[in-house]
A = this chain, B = another copy of it.
């Protein structure tokens, strides 16, 4: 028996966590990509709970950075960044529900070198930016193109890093807002949290009929914080299983793996992102175990874990989690 059989998806999903129809969205199927998470577009696909969907995603630069001599500042055209595949309409999804999205696999797509990272002027965690506005001169631009294959991430002649892929940007549509795919928030979006990878199930709040699932921005590997602003960006083929949890009622994204349960908060400053994530976790833990919020707060003081997603996006993202074996 797999841990999946005890997941929230299996226990509470409309499809009971069972795989249903298979669908595919290729780059051609998608046609026009999206740069906002919002309800003002037509879905590219409509599915029933249980659907298994294979999705082709662009990299965060829409494939436009092709050489190490490219200048990101000349190529990238704000706000047309971080192109998203979708939205996928999930039948029956209503405000107050959650989409359960199990990530089955993430495979790099296209000709080598498929990985791109770069330094973009006034963007990143250790430089002045549009918000943390400074008078210092920006760092010089720089592009690295990296081969990513079954052997890993070939960073340099002497260093190969592991292939640890995840989805940088995934979420549902807000109810009436349409928000840049560069931003993470209560509906998911650009969280850049390495836990959102194969083996995990993410539960995304539904705010609008059909939920409207968007995704993109896959990363071959990323450190905590996505320090320079962009990870190792890859075009990818992503396989997902989508279920629907009626009335799940989570206010922020929730993520489950075999070992742990996590909530993800996004805000500035970073302590607010952490507070959001931890408060959600306190409340979930109290409800799940029947202990008081005060007791759950004290227990998480002993064994809560924090994972920094990004400290570079318009909001910063943090996951707070507890090992399932401590949930009792």
Contact with B along A260-277 (1 / 0, CB 8 A): 000001011111101110
Q: Which of A3-11, A13-21, A86-94, A151-159 sits within the interface?
A: A151-159
Check A155–B302 contact: CB distance below 8 A. yes
Residue tally, chain A, CB below 8 Å to B: 82
A306 to B194, CA, bound (A): 12
A306 to B193, CA, bound (A): 12
Check B302–A133 contact: CB distance below 8 A. no
Closest to A119 in B: B294
A128 within 8 A of B: yes
Of residues 271 to 316 in A, which have CB atoms within 8 Å of B's CB atoms? Answer: 271-272, 274-276, 278-280, 282, 293-294, 297-306, 308, 311, 316
A249 within 8 A of B: no
A27 within 8 A of B: no
Contacts known (A126-B135, A161-B326, A274-B308); A294 close to B223, Cβ less than 8 A: no
Copies in the complex: 4
A294 to B124, CA, bound (A): 12
Expressed in whole angstroms, the minimum distance between the Cβ of A38 and any Cβ of chain B is 6
Expressed in whole angstroms, the minimum distance between the Cβ of A243 and any Cβ of chain B is 26
Interface centre among A221, A224, A305 (most CB of B within 10 A): A224
Check A119–B177 contact: CB distance below 8 A. no
Check B126–A299 contact: CB distance below 8 A. no
Q: Which of A47-55, A100-108, A197-205, A228-236 sits within the interface?
A: A228-236
Q: Which of A58-66, A136-144, A210-218 sits within the interface?
A: A136-144
What chain B residues lie within 8 Å of A221 (beta carbons)? 302-303
Check A297–B135 contact: CB distance below 8 A. yes
Check B139–A227 contact: CB distance below 8 A. no
What chain B residues lie within 8 Å of A124 (beta carbons)? 297
Task: Please pick, from B223, B297, B303, the residue contacting A302 in the complex, using a CB distance under 8 A.
Answer: B223
Expressed in whole angstroms, the minimum distance between the Cβ of A39 and any Cβ of chain B is 9
Contacts known (A161-B303, A294-B140, A297-B227); A271 close to B134, Cβ less than 8 A: no
Closest to A228 in B: B301
Expressed in whole angstroms, the minimum distance between the Cβ of A144 and any Cβ of chain B is 6
Task: Please pick, from B80, B133, B299, the residue contacting A279 in the complex, using a CB distance under 8 A.
Answer: B133
Check A158–B328 contact: CB distance below 8 A. yes
